[in-house]
Amino acid sequence: MSGDGPLEILLIEDNPGDARLIEEMLSGVEELNRRLGSDPSSGETPVVHHETRLEDGLAYLDSSDADATSSTDGNGSGATLPTGSASASGSESESASASATPINVVLLDLNLPDSAGLETLTAVLESDATAPVIVLTGLQDSDAGIEAISRGAQEYLVKDEVTSPMLVRTIAHAIKRHEQLIERERRREELEALNRLNRIGQEITRDAITTSSREALEQAVCDRLAADDAYRFVWIGDVTPGGPQVVPRAAAGVEDGYLDEITITDGDGEHSSGPTALALETEEIQVVRDIEHDSTYDPWRESARERSFRSSAAIPILHDKVRYGILNVYSSRPHAFTEYEQTLLGRLGDVIGHAIAALERKDALLSDAVLELEFRVEGAIGPLVEATARESAKVSIEQFIRSGDRILAYGSAEGIAHEELGSAIDRTDDLEEFRVLTPGRNEYDFELTKTGNIELFETVASRGGRVKSARIDDGTFRLVIELSQQSETARVIETVESICPGATYAAQRTADRSSPSIPSPGLLETKLTDRQYEALETAYLSGFFEWPRTSTGEEVAERLDISPATFTQHLRAAEQKFFDSVFSASEATRDGE
């Protein structure tokens, strides 16, 4: 038997003489402790809780199960009897129900004042009792014994034939068999959950490929999960931009106005105690396995009870450290969402997050119209900002290329000598490898490398956007981020300002990214591999295609941390695909004419 403390036995028996006899038989505890894996010399005496009516026994079982669920500790008074003590009175029975402790085994007489025969057993088994049941009867009826076991009893004992060794052995075997049964059931549920969630995960992956919008994908996720018998209601939501309230975006299943009735907020307060707010805070799955008895669910319990929600799970939808929402799943089963099922649901949240990120990137690549967000940044790249404080000085960076764990930046400068600019860059954290690409002392193109703190670039890219440009003049540093029109602008602004504490949102505008007569960056990115695109873009920006060249193939390869031969291979493949796009578009245009 797992757990600490003495063995807890519920004896439902209306005959005082039989009750005393059972208690006496259990007075020798060494053999029972040994069979249950406890220390035989511990001297812990089994505690017998005696009830004389079925109604009182069921009430005690219900309170003991609730006690176990809420992890409270009942000391047991009144009807809690050490072996050999007198039976409980009616008032003591009521006290027992109020302070019950978890029961390890039930000894049940079939014929009681308020119930008779096998229906007594059925009533106990249907009460959601978690303890094994041993039937005691004064009748020597083998058919009744077989029927009792087939209905779910662990054993059937005739009172006149019971001896102390037999009772001890029977109790030990019943508890062990029951634990084995529970373990088998747990493994079966885990296997079913694995198969079910794997199937749903595959369906959601297919939905991610076939759906054209985030809204359609989120609704498909809710529909898939709610269609499964294991889940009663599913919804996806997130915190409103700039506000604490969690609002739904998609839902499926037995809702019946539930989302209109409840309020969930992020942060502190009465409506921030549940699994959703905690999942938002920790970015980890949170579960309430028994809504009826979990105090954190107080604000929503009545609404959940009306719709038969007995347990719930809140799963953060994440990808590359970016949160895309919270998936809430409800079950009509108490104690649902086992540890194994939680692991699978957590993976499902990752799959959904990856799919949403892919849809946002796809929208960003294929859309000609984009959003540009401009930020003013204070307290960053101080030496560089100071170097451009005079009116004539201006530094612009038109292109950022991520190469491994660093960023290659290509830009132009005017009104500042390249020696002065290089000195300012040397004194600026995370900026290095400054190189002038074109002739000119006070007006020229340059290249530099950012080697640390590239979280902003990673996060914006994960939302389907890019850091487009930067401008430093008049002692002010401005940064422009480009996003698809479908992006959650408020969430991106919040993210940028959290990553860059000195950043302040300044403006938003719509821009055309490309001309229809030229292959768009989105089209090229879908045709080229990441390395091919990186090689082509870096070669272009570093002046490889200029005449005379401002960067050799060896220098570009060194920047990309690859061999010259590999650079040439990537570049030739990229050039071939680029010209295929150009001339296939031209042929299509001429055919249309």
Strands 8-12 and 105-109: parallel
pLDDT of residue 326: 95
Residue with token string 């108490």:
334
Distance CA 39, CA 379 (A): 67
Residue 452 has pLDDT above 90, yes or no: no
- 239-253 pLDDT, tens digit per residue, is 886 678 899 999 999
- DSSP character for 441? S
Distance set, CA 75 to CA 101, 104, 107, 295 (Å): 7, 15, 21, 21
In this structure, what token pair is assigned to residue 103?
């029961």
Which parts of 30-112 fold into alpha helices (H)? 30-35, 54-69, 90-98
| Paired residues of 469 in beta bridges | 480
- DSSP character for 37? T
- Cα end-to-end span (Å), the chain: 85
HSE-CB for 296 with a 13 A CA cutoff: 16
Average of pLDDT values for 102-125?
Answer: 89
Cβ contacts of 419 within 8 Å, gap of 6 or more: none
pLDDT of residue 489: 80
Strands 155-158 and 133-137: parallel
- Count H helices and E strands in the chain, helices first: 20, 19
Distance CA 410, CA 396 (A): 9
DSSP symbols for 364-376: HHH-SEEEEEEEE
Average of pLDDT values for 454-463?
Answer: 84
Which three-class secondary structure state does DSSP give residue 491?
helix
Residue 187 has pLDDT above 70, yes or no: yes
The alpha-carbon radius of gyration of the chain (Å, integer) is: 36
Neighbours of 18 (CB within 10 A): 19
- 258-276 pLDDT, tens digit per residue, is 999 999 998 778 888 899 9
In this structure, what token pair is assigned to residue 407?
């960023």
Is residue 238 within 8 Å of residue 249, measured between CB atoms? yes
In this structure, what token pair is assigned to residue 420?
């002065």
Distance CA 371, CA 246 (A): 26
Neighbours of 147 (CB within 10 A): 15
At 162, the pLDDT band (50, 70, 90 cuts) reads: confident
At 65, the pLDDT band (50, 70, 90 cuts) reads: low
| Paired residues of 326 in beta bridges | 237, 316
